[in-house]
């Protein structure tokens, strides 16, 4: 074969390889673009649906705090004030606003303009300041979830009245209130300040967020020191024999075990044998700690391996004991990697639902937990409960809670990245 033909064959082969390389790069760019498009679609969908939760329809009513209803004896007894019929005051205010409504069926529809829990907010005001009794207050009270959807334009008025959750009469009353400026969308502070509720307009994420926070604190207190000490022992002090290899293999396997297995372990051991309280953040944190430990141990060992042997040798050469060399020199150098692994493990624990379901943290909890033993739920479990609810208004709250959870996860992963860049040492 002549030199000309050989050069032509080589050029043709190079052209084919370059074309394949360009196609491969194009496929990679298309794959990244598709992933980013799917992620953007997810965020836009959740953001659009969840943003409506930030604003809630409220009705302004003139409520007379009737002493005969709230405190008939005038003794200002807390038990009497707490047990008064405050919802009856809301109903009376609605009747005063629409005096033409006389029929019992129409009155029932009229009462449906406000939330069944509106009276609780009046009760909190009275308990905070009993001197309000006997006065008439102009209050913004939460509208019912159906009225909220109607105000937000989420009701199809072309449907027959029997197929709608808001009747024609209620629509007329809403229009009257709008004309008076007595119904509008206001900032939904209840979503961020309340715990769960069976009424969508009153449901909030504070109880679930506190349950997740307390569980993560318990998880961190248990998993971080145990994980660091285990990683130090296995990497620096444990003899290299068959038993050590068995332990290492089991730790690596535990990192891939489905999370529900840890939930079953917590159910059988912590609740079954030790009789610990169900739905408690203490138990949830312990289960999450068991699930997070393998991740922290593996990350810790990798961080210790990354420390140059010269640091150990220099410390030993200057007279330090093996324990002093590890604690005073190797461990501080490996700590950024350990912290990164710990935060990533905690972020995984924050998003877990299955193990918490197994230990009873799926219960309906209306109070904000204040200790590790108080009944609580968690943010992922709260999302699961709302997603399974038949009320349409819970759909928006589910999306909003998912956005809040994603924000926490992004912040935790961003913290891991910043810690790694801030304290990472290049050898």
On whether residue 273 sits in a domain, the answer given is: yes
Q: Is the dihedral of CA 405, 406, 408, 409 positive or negative?
A: positive
Q: Cα separation of 201 and 61, whole Å?
A: 17
On whether residue 12 sits in a domain, the answer given is: no
Q: Cα separation of 244 and 252, whole Å?
A: 12
Given the structure tokens 């209306």, which residue do they identify?
366
Are the beta carbons of 309 and 376 closer than 8 angstroms? no
On whether residue 239 sits in a domain, the answer given is: yes
* Residues 216 and 349 grouped into a single domain: yes
On whether residue 141 sits in a domain, the answer given is: yes
pLDDT bin (cut points 50, 70, 90) of residue 425 is: low
* Residues 173 and 82 grouped into a single domain: yes
Burial label for 275, CB within 10 Å (0-12, 13-18, 19+), is: exposed
DSSP designation for 275: -
Are the beta carbons of 197 and 143 closer than 8 angstroms? no
Q: Cα separation of 69 and 192, whole Å?
A: 31
On whether residue 118 sits in a domain, the answer given is: yes
Task: Give the model confidence (pLDDT) of 82-137 as tens digits.
Answer: 989 999 999 999 999 999 988 899 999 999 999 998 999 999 999 999 999 999 99
> What percentage of residues in the chain have a pLDDT greater than 70?
98
* Residues 62 and 135 grouped into a single domain: yes
Burial label for 202, CB within 10 Å (0-12, 13-18, 19+), is: buried
Nearest to 123 by CA among 107, 141, 111: 141
* Residues 235 and 175 grouped into a single domain: no
Predicted pLDDT of residue 326: 87
pLDDT bin (cut points 50, 70, 90) of residue 284 is: very high
Are the beta carbons of 113 and 176 closer than 8 angstroms? no
The phi and psi torsions of 203 (rounded to 5 degrees) equal -75, 140
Boundary-marking domain end, from 188, 216, 237: 188
Which domain covers residue 150, as residue numbers?
58-188
Encoding tokens for residue 376? 């609580």
Q: Does the pLDDT of residue 303 top 80, yes or no?
A: yes
Predicted pLDDT of residue 367: 86
* CATH label of the domain that carries residue 326: 1.10.3720.10
Predicted pLDDT of residue 86: 92
Nearest to 394 by CA among 50, 101, 28, 21: 50
* Residues 340 and 418 grouped into a single domain: yes
Predicted pLDDT of residue 122: 93
Q: Does the pLDDT of residue 61 top 90, yes or no?
A: yes
On whether residue 44 sits in a domain, the answer given is: no
* Residues 147 and 244 grouped into a single domain: no
Q: Does the pLDDT of residue 1 top 60, yes or no?
A: no
Q: How high does pLDDT run on average in the chain?
A: 88
Are the beta carbons of 361 and 211 closer than 8 angstroms? yes
Boundary-marking domain end, from 188, 222, 240: 188
* Residues 402 and 259 grouped into a single domain: yes
Nearest to 148 by CA among 61, 48, 45, 54: 54
3-state secondary structure (DSSP) of residue 305:
helix
Encoding tokens for residue 317? 């050469």
On whether residue 52 sits in a domain, the answer given is: no
* Residues 184 and 220 grouped into a single domain: no
On whether residue 405 sits in a domain, the answer given is: yes
Q: Cα separation of 220 and 229, whole Å?
A: 14
Are the beta carbons of 347 and 261 closer than 8 angstroms? no
Q: At what angle do helices 104-111 and 86-97 cross, to 10 degrees?
A: 110
* Residues 68 and 161 grouped into a single domain: yes
pLDDT bin (cut points 50, 70, 90) of residue 424 is: low
pLDDT bin (cut points 50, 70, 90) of residue 36 is: very high
Boundary-marking domain end, from 157, 188, 219: 188
* Residues 164 and 225 grouped into a single domain: no
Q: Does the pLDDT of residue 6 top 80, yes or no?
A: no
Q: How many CA atoms lie within 13 A of 372 on its CB side?
A: 12
3-state secondary structure (DSSP) of residue 332:
helix
Predicted pLDDT of residue 182: 92
* Residues 218 and 147 grouped into a single domain: no
Q: Cα separation of 238 and 250, whole Å?
A: 16
Predicted pLDDT of residue 207: 92
Burial label for 137, CB within 10 Å (0-12, 13-18, 19+), is: middle
* Residues 314 and 179 grouped into a single domain: no
Structural domain tally of the chain? Answer: 2
Q: At what angle do helices 168-179 and 104-111 cross, to 10 degrees?
A: 60
């Amino acid at each position: 074969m002549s030199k000309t033909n050989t050069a032509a064959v080589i050029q043709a082969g190079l052209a084919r390889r370059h074309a394949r390389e360009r196609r491969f790069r194009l496929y990679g760019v298309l794959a990244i673009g598709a992933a980013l498009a799917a992620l953007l679609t997810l965020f836009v969908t959740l953001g659009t649906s969840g943003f409506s939760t930030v604003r809630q329809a409220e009705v302004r009513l003139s409520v007379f705090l009737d002493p005969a209803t709230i405190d008939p004896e005038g003794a200002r007894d807390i038990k009497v004030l707490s047990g008064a019929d405050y919802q009856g005051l809301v109903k009376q205010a609605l009747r005063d606003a629409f005096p033409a409504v006389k029929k019992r069926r129409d009155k029932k529809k009229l009462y449906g303009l406000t939330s069944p829990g509106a009276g609780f907010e009046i009760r909190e005001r009275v308990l905070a300041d009993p001197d309000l009794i006997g006065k008439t207050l102009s209050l913004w009270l939460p509208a019912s979830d159906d009225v909220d959807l109607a105000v937000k334009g989420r009701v199809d008025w072309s449907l027959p009245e029997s197929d709608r959750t808001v009747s024609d009469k209620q629509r007329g009353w809403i229009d009257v209130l709008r004309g008076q400026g007595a119904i509008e969308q206001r900032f939904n502070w209840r979503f961020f300040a309340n715990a769960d509720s069976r009424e969508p307009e009153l449901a909030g994420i504070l109880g679930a967020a506190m349950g997740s926070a307390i569980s993560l604190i318990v998880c961190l207190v248990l998993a971080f020191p145990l994980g660091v000490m285990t990683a130090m022992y296995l990497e620096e002090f444990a003899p290299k024999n068959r038993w050590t290899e068995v332990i290492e293999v089991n730790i690596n396997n535990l990192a891939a075990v489905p999370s529900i297995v840890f939930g079953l372990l917590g159910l059988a051991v912590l609740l079954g044998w030790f009789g610990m309280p169900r739905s408690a953040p203490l138990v949830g944190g312990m289960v999450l700690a068991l699930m997070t430990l393998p991740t922290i141990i593996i990350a810790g060992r990798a961080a210790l391996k990354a420390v140059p042997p010269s640091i150990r040798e220099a410390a030993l050469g200057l007279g330090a004991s093996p324990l002093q060399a590890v604690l005073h020199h190797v461990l501080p150098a490996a700590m950024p990697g350990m912290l990164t692994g710990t935060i990533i493990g905690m972020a995984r624990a924050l998003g877990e639902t299955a193990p918490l379901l197994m230990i009873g943290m799926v219960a309906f909890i209306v109070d904000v937990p204040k200790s590790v033993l108080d009944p609580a739920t968690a943010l992922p479990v709260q999302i699961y409960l709302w997603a399974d609810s038949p009320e349409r208004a819970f759909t928006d709250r589910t999306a909003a809670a998912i956005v809040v959870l994603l924000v926490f996860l992004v912040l935790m992963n961003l913290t891991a990245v910043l810690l790694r860049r801030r304290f990472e040492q290049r050898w």
